Amino acid sequence: MKSIFLFLLLLSLPVLSGFDFSEHSIPPSEILSGGPPKDGIPAILEPTFIPAKKAHFLKNDDRVLGLVINGESKAYPIKILNWHEIVNDTVGGKKVIVSYCPLCGTGMAFDATIEGKHHTFGVSGLLYKSDVLMYDHQTESLWSQISRKAVTGPRTGTPLKLLPLVHTSFGAWKQEHSNSVVLSSDTGYRRDYDRDPYVSYRKNDRVMFPVGKIDRRYPTKTWIIGIEYLGVTRAYPFPVLSSGPHSFNDRIGSEIVQITYDLSSRSARIQNQAGEDLPTVVAYWFAWTAFHPETEVYQAGVK
């Protein structure tokens, strides 16, 4: 009886979601509805920007995702991304996807040129391990944000190229990038961007959707900066970084990298020996370990 029920469930999933799961790399039964339907959370396809100094709707301690490509700096306020989750944009001449999952705290930017073709993305309304599943408009494949690859549809298994992104405060970003522009709240949608629908979620330890076994070494919503580099997956918990030193070297694989943590803006970055930012992910502890259960965890003083 249980196997028959599962078979019927798998048959119904493509109909219920509007997506074809016949090709998949994750169990379709673990793909869950987050509540809103496909495009119920509308991605931004034609973003508009204003100079940072004119972004009066932002306070200095508001969180932003900052992106710099070929000398062009842009900031994407979390208070807008809470309501849209995906921005399709061009920065420094490069087509990009800026994504944010409020349930996992993950802000990630990707190269939107995939196998030589420009792709645009929307919000599917579906989740995998509590993380947003994006979909591309060209093939309607589903893409796992944290896994950085397509998990259903014609593009199954295709990777996304992660770009360096900084999760920081608006004040810190504005000070470092005085010529930056900011995603405007004039998005074409009627949303109360001053209202944070996730404020209570961030303040408790609950996880709303199944993620598998939860790693209890840290509270679920502890902030970490995670990196996958040279075959090594490692997490640097913010409580460890905040206790100092706030800038130090660490070895990842065969290379020495520099980790910097700014206490006032609660932001971290990892750079190579040339001083270039490496692609990283700032995330809740539970989200990082759900997708990277074998992750190494940095401990101060432990080599």
Q: What is the pLDDT of residues 250-278, one digit of tens each?
A: 999 999 999 999 999 999 999 999 999 99
* pLDDT level of residue 9 (50, 70, 90 thresholds): very low
Residues with Cβ within 8 Å of 42's Cβ and at least 6 positions away in sequence, in order, are 84, 122, 123, 189
pTM, two decimal places: 0.92
Residue 38 contacts residue 142 (beta carbons within 8 Å): no
Average pLDDT of span 232-256: 95
DSSP state of 278: P
What's residue 14's pLDDT? Answer: 43
pLDDT of residue 234 exceeding 60? yes
The per-residue pLDDT of the chain, averaged, comes to 93
Reply yes or no on whether the pLDDT at 5 is more than 50: no
User: Based on C-alpha coordinates, what's the Rg of the chain?
Assistant: 19
Task: Copy the structure tokens of residue 143.
Answer: 């893409």
Q: Is the pLDDT of residue 6 over 70?
A: no
Q: Would you say the C-alpha torsion 135, 136, 140, 142 has a positive or negative sign?
A: negative
Q: Provide DSSP, 150-168.
A: EEESTTTT-B--EE--EEE
The 10s digit of each residue's pLDDT in 183-225 is 999 999 999 999 999 999 999 999 999 999 999 999 999 999 9
Reading the block at residue 272, the tokens are 């190579």
The reported pLDDT for the residue numbered 300 is 78
User: Hey, what long-range contacts does 200-203 have (CB within 8 A, 24 or more apart)?
Assistant: 201/102, 201/103, 202/105
pLDDT digits (tens, 9 = 90+) for 112-155: 999 999 999 999 999 999 999 999 999 999 999 999 999 999 99
| pLDDT interval class at 10 (50, 70, 90) | very low
Domain ranges for the chain = 29-182, 218-297
Would you state the pLDDT for residue 17?
67
**pLDDT tens for residues 175-185?**
999 999 999 99
Q: Is the peptide bond before 293 cis (omega within 30 degrees of 0)?
A: no
Please report which confidence band the pLDDT of residue 239 belongs to, taking 50, 70 and 90 as the band edges. Answer: very high
Contact 181, 52 (CB under 8 A): yes
Give the Cα separation of 229 and 246 in Å (integer).
Answer: 21
